[in-house]
Amino acid sequence: MAIRSNGKQYIILFVENNAGVLARITSLFCQRGFNIDTLTVASTDTPTISRITISFFGDERTSKQLLMQTGKLTEVKAVIPTRTPFCVLRELLLVKLEAPEEKREEILSFAAEYKFRVVDKSDGCMILELTGDPAYIDTIIEILGSFKILEMCRTGVTALERGQASFSAE
């Protein structure tokens, strides 16, 4: 029922877009001792439905139980069973680097090599943006250690199944 990648599990939920739904879902995780690693929530093409992607660590047996209980919540319209090879995972990274004049060319070269988008050049710093698979983002963060990171933010994982399969709220 969950997507697995490097020991981490990912689940996708479609829920009614009501106040308190997210609190009930996260409460289920908390009650069962799961720590949510990333959480993304957004509306869908149907205004009354939101899509939630959750990543967490846990064994298969307990996660199956958690998914069954999550699916029983009245606001949950679908829990999508899927596996990593059949899913595209993406995450956004924004990183602000110290960029004195003498380091700017090196940072720009790095950004081009790793397909970053430069979203801001200010006095003494730059903000770079990168979208990619969570494992790729992890690797890039390690490589960024050669620069002085002033601030960094990751969005959390979003996921879509490959192929024609899709969820319809109707």
Q: How far apart are CA 71 and CA 74, in angstroms?
A: 8
For residue 122 the two structure tokens come to 């200010």
pLDDT > 70: percent of the chain: 90
The secondary structure of 23-66, three-state, reads: HHHHHHHHHCCCCEEEEEEEECCCCCEEEEEEEEECCHHHHHHH
pLDDT for the residue numbered 140: 95
pLDDT confidence of residue 53: 92
Residue range 32-60: average pLDDT? 88
Q: Would you say 3 and 30 are in contact if contact means Cβ atoms under 8 Å apart?
A: no
H/E run at residue 3:
strand 3-5
Neighbours of 157 (CB within 10 A): 24
CATH number of the domain located at residue range(s) 88-158 in this protein:
3.30.70.1150
Tell me the fold of 3-82.
Alpha-Beta Plaits (3.30.70)
What pLDDT score does 82 carry?
Answer: 64
| DSSP result, 89-156 | EEEEEEEEEE--GGGHHHHHHHHHHTT-EEEEEETTEEEEEEEE-HHHHHHHHHHGGGS-EEEEEE--
Domain boundaries, the chain: 3-82, 88-158
Mean pLDDT of 53-66: 80
CA distance 58 to 95: 29
User: Please, which pLDDT band fits residue 1 given cuts at 50, 70 and 90?
Assistant: very low
Higher pLDDT, 88 or 148: 148
* Side chain identity, residue 147: F
Residue 46 has pLDDT above 80, yes or no: yes
Model confidence pLDDT, tens digit, residues 110-161: 999 999 999 999 999 999 999 999 989 999 999 998 999 999 999 999 988 8
Taking CA atoms, 21 is separated from 14, 15, 50, 54, in Å, by 11, 8, 10, 14
Fold agreement (3-82, 88-158): yes
